[in-house]
Amino acid sequence: MSDPRLPATTTLAGIPHAPQDLTATVPRQLVHRSSVAETFLTGVNSTGTHQFTAFAEWPRAHQLHVSPDRSAYEPLLVAETVRQVGALLAHTAYEVPLGHQFVLRELGITTYPGQLALGPAPAEPELRISVTDVDRRGGRPAGFRYETDVRLGAERVATAHVAVTWTDAAVYRRLRGGRTATGVAAPPPPPGLPPAVVDRALPGDVVLSPSKHPDRWQLRVDTAHAVFFDHPLDHVPGMLLLEAARQAAHARTGNGRRTPVSFHAVFHRYAELDLPVWIVVVDQPGANGADVQVVGQQGKSTVFECGVGTASE
């Protein structure tokens, strides 16, 4: 439910109106992508105070977000689409300037796999968004939480909740202590697990490297990967960490008997490019009904935690 104390949103700006029956993606800069091919949103409307409807198009073929057998959309496509919604709304409805740095704090999605099958044309989901809380600092928005209902036609295919904050470039530079995308480099990634173990078709899409312990892997950080590093970054992106949780769940459950359908992640701090990140499955109950609990560790710090819910195939 929306909080009546929240400030009124501004008029949407910067979204081009395509001619009738024609569809174009929103400007890629508004969703923090460099590639138009990785821009999934096609528009957004304000439907009420802190209420919005966004529109997207999902491709029928994708390196990561379509299953290897091209039969279904992957749950993390929902996650990426919902992430893009936050950036788009921040810039167009909450007056956040381009150039501000965004930090993903929480992301949770629950998908209904039976509704994510590929059809004869690209899917065009509708996302109904409710902004539930706006954090204001110095009179200006500095972050928000939002909930999203994702539908294809009349069918609900997923629900999501997200918390994100942002800061201007000068503050971000101070927070990062001089770390920049050009000044910090990741070492060459170690060899990965066999692709089939993590339900991937290509070795380059495997993000886990084996260790001496069966439930512990080193994160493979390949800054040349065109999806995870669509543009240069000074830290490991949240979507790469979510993919690591997905692959850890596949590796843990084994032999494709169960598949991830939900993710509930909390991001505690930046994962640095130049230091090893360890992905660990821990034997403890997960929140939100998750049956695989994944933790990302760097040095003595916990970078993120993610409960992954799985279902029988």
The neighbouring-strand residues paired with 208 are 219
CA-CA distance, 296 to 218, in Å (whole number)? Answer: 9
pTM: 0.92
CA-CA distance, 218 to 190, in Å (whole number)? Answer: 8
Model pLDDT for residues 129-180, shown as the tens digit of each residue? 999 999 999 889 999 999 999 999 999 999 999 999 999 999 999 999 989 9
Q: Which residues have a Cβ under 8 Å from the Cβ of 191 and sit 6 or more positions away? A: 209, 210
- Range scoring the smallest mean pLDDT among 200-209, 224-233, 276-285, 287-296: 287-296
The class that CATH gives domain 28-174 is alpha beta
CATH number of 185-312: 3.10.129.10
Model pLDDT for residues 25-69, shown as the tens digit of each residue? 999 999 999 999 999 999 999 999 999 999 999 999 999 999 988
The residue-averaged pLDDT of 224-242 equals: 97
CATH 3.10.129.10 positions along the chain are 28-174, 185-312
DSSP string of 195-232, one letter each residue: GGGGT-SSGGG--EEE-SSTTEEEE---TT-TTTTSS-
Q: Which residues have a Cβ under 8 Å from the Cβ of 228 and sit 6 or more positions away? A: 207, 222, 237, 239, 240, 243
